[in-house]
């Protein structure tokens, strides 16, 4: 099976540029990967030990941020790699790493070249992206490797007849920091017990958000002390279910609405506007038309009912204005987005129906801080309850805030382990 894998990954690597002609995201990834070797050759310092951190995408990056913030940049060079364009394109200029690039595809030749150039002293991987040739190289070179916020599920490749051969490569990982007990049991069943249930570092990341200054002048003026629904990382499937309530709310004007869609290309924003009866304000138009808020623009903001944030990086601040948060992705098949970023502000969270792969959502629902809806009528019913019953809204929000606070600490466990390897790895 290993020979077949190597053949398939080599063919895939060769065909990706061709496939990129028909797919914007693939094209973006291929274009970025083409620059990887130049980035590495120009930025890697041979005389300084390297810490290689790999995050598959943007979500995994957010998980590792609390650890990245504590890594010693004076004694070590941090090399951060991404597999997905959503991670690299958004974080290629992050100040938390010295070198940021795409991870070359997992061919034997690419792996050997990458390892020779980077020559890491320590490797930190996030969640569950496992590439057999990279793991094999790490094990052969005896490089200290840890997995942070790891997740193991029954339906993962290791448990399939066609993927069980990959299990042995997990021996490259010296310690698995896992999110939950179920992952610990699944990993133990695979034959590995060098693990601990430390929790999810996303809780630490989320808890940091509430401590910073989240105020934005244009949101102050738009919300204007009214109740506010923040719709985060929405997809068209989400808006379809929310449409009925949005229409009624437009007529009543009872609640302000902030929408931060997952896809912000102009064609996607135009499609979103077509789904709305209201004429929304776009953040980009505010930014383009004035550097400061004039009396006229303030009046326009206060009179408007829907504001679309068509940019990256403002959603977490927008959640601080929420009375209620709807987190997108679970109404369709794209995957539920981060509910922790909303919950940390102590507001009720509503999501779609497809969240089986997101145990944190199930846990918060069991506690009473989250509601799952599958139809327009269900959404309207929940919104009516939360907007008319302040006690219920406050109680539900308090559950969310307490849930975040009671699950922090995963970062501390990871950092304590790294200090045991070498005190110089971590800054105080």
For every residue of 347-398, DSSP letters joined together read --EEE-S--TT-HHHHHHHHHTSEEE--SHHHHHHHHHHHHH-HHHHHHHHH
Residue pair 178/151 in contact by the 8 Å Cβ criterion: yes
The Cα 152–Cα 250 span in angstroms is: 44
CA-wise closest residue to 179 among 123, 128, 124: 128
Residue pair 386/174 in contact by the 8 Å Cβ criterion: no
Query: What are the structure tokens assigned to 244, written together?
Result: 């009925």
Catalytic residue among 60, 62, 341, 360: 60
Which residue's structure tokens are 């999110």? 179
The CB-side HSE value for 410 (13 A sphere, CA atoms) comes to 33
Whether 251 is catalytic is no
The Cα 233–Cα 293 span in angstroms is: 26
**Cα-based angle 85, 63, 398 (whole degrees, multiple of 5):** 125
**Cα-based angle 35, 57, 208 (whole degrees, multiple of 5):** 120
Q: How far lies 160's CA from each of 164, 172, 320, in Å?
A: 6, 20, 43
Q: Which residues are catalytic?
A: 60
């Amino acid at each position: 099976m290993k020979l077949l894998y190597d053949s398939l990954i080599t063919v895939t690597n060769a065909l990706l540029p061709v496939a990129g002609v028909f797919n914007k995201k693939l094209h973006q990834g291929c274009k970025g990967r083409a620059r990887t070797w130049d980035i590495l050759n120009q930025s890697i310092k041979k005389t300084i030990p390297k810490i290689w951190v790999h995050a598959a995408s943007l979500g995994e990056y957010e998980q590792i941020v609390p650890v990245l913030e504590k890594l010693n940049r004076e004694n070590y060079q941090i090399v951060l790699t991404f597999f997905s364009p959503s991670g690299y394109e958004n974080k290629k200029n992050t100040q938390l790493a010295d070198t940021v690039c795409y991870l070359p595809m997992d061919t034997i030749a690419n792996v050997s070249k990458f390892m020779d150039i980077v020559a890491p002293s320590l490797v930190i991987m996030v969640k569950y992206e496992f590439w057999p040739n990279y793991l094999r190289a790490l094990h052969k070179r005896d490089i200290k490797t840890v997995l942070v916020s790891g997740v193991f599920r029954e339906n993962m490749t290791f448990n399939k007849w066609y993927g069980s051969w990959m299990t042995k490569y997990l021996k490259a990982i010296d310690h698995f920091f896992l999110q939950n007990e179920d992952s610990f049991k699944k990993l133990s069943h695979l034959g590995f017990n060098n693990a601990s249930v430390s929790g999810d570092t996303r809780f630490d990341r989320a808890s940091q958000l509430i401590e910073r200054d989240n105020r934005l002048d244009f949101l102050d003026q738009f919300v204007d002390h009214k109740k506010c629904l923040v719709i985060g990382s929405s997809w068209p499937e989400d808006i379809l279910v929310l449409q009925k309530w949005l229409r009624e709310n437009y007529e009543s004007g009872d609640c302000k609405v902030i929408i931060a869609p997952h896809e912000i290309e102009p064609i996607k924003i135009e499609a979103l506007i077509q789904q709305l009866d209201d004429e929304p304000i776009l953040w980009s138009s505010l930014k383009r038309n004035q550097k400061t808020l004039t009396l006229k623009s303030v009046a326009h903001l206060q009179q408007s009912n829907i504001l679309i944030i068509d940019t990256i990086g403002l959603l977490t601040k927008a959640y601080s204005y929420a009375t209620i948060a709807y987190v997108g992705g679970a109404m369709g098949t794209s995957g539920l987005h981060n509910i922790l970023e909303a919950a940390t502000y102590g507001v009720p969270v509503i999501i779609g129906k497809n969240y089986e792969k997101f145990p944190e959502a199930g846990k918060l629902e069991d506690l009473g801080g989250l509601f799952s809806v599958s139809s327009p009528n269900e959404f309207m019913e929940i919104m009516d309850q939360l907007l008319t019953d302040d006690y219920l809204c406050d109680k539900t929000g308090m559950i969310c805030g307490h849930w975040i606070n009671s699950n922090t600490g995963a970062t501390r466990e990871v950092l304590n382990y790294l200090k045991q390897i070498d005190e110089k790895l971590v800054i105080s």
